[in-house]
Each structure stands twice: as structure tokens, then as C-alpha cells.
Amino acid sequence: MGDEVRPWGRFETLSESGSHKVKRIYVNPGSRLSYQRHEKRAEHWFIVSGLAKATHNGVESTLKAGDSIDIAIGDLHRIENIGTDLVVFIEVQTGTYFGEDDIERVEDDYSR
């Protein structure tokens, strides 16, 4: 399935079906994903390594290895690497559609 490179790091798809998608996501130190929401999927993040700040519907929390967070359909969310090592997390998506075009970006450091 290969790596997908993004301005903040990269991800690889580990599993994909009509009911779910699983990604391993790598976030570079000092980088963050866009503040976004999805109309057709929920997400569960499980932190594998690194130190991250998650913003979920305006509430910030610090996440480390072993921590997880659930994001419902329509919730605003973002993850940021606040450490000096890569943040690696597993994202499990569930819902009815998993395309990259199901992203509504509210704020984006990379003007996408």
C-alpha cells in the first residue's frame, strides 16, 4: 500500500475494507496535522511512541505511549508532535467512507 508523504510527516495504510481503515501515522517533531473533522468516519487513535498534544473539540490533552482517544463523526480534532522524537500512532477509522477527500479543514499550517 506504500507510504503517503505529507508536510507534517507520513502515513501508511495497514488494513482497509468496506467497514474500516487502519493507518500507522508518523508526525515529525514540531509539526501538526490540520484542525479538521469528517462527515463519514469516526477515529480511534492509539499512541505508540513520542509525546503529542491532541486537540479534540477545543480541549487540549497530552498523550504519550499507551494513551488513546476516540473521535466521533463530526468532532473537530488535531494532533501535534510536542516532543523531540517522532510521534507514531495507530488510527482506526470506522464509518461508511474512508477517502482522503472526507476532510473539512478548519485550520491548516500548510494552506491546504
Cβ within 8 Å of residue 30, ≥6 positions away: 81
Say which CATH superfamily domain 3-106 falls into. Answer: Jelly Rolls (2.60.120.10)
* Residue-wise pLDDT tens digits, 75-99: 999 999 999 999 999 999 999 999 9
Return the pLDDT at 1. Answer: 62
Strand partners, 55: 60, 78
Radius of gyration in angstroms for the set of CA atoms belonging to the chain, rounded to a whole number:
13
Nearest one of 68, 75, 78, 79 to 38, comparing CA atoms: 75
For residue 48, give the C-alpha cell. 505508540
> Cα separation of 17 and 3, whole Å?
18
Mean pLDDT of 101-105: 96
Q: What is the pTM of this model?
A: 0.95
Return the pLDDT at 2. Answer: 79
> Cα separation of 33 and 89, whole Å?
13
* Residue-wise pLDDT tens digits, 6-58: 999 999 999 999 999 999 999 999 999 999 999 999 999 999 999 999 999 99
* Residue-wise pLDDT tens digits, 58-73: 999 999 999 999 999 9
CB burial class (10 A; 0-12, 13-18, 19+) of residue 103?
middle
* HSE-CB of 80 using CA atoms within 13 angstroms: 16
For residue 55, give the C-alpha cell. 486537540
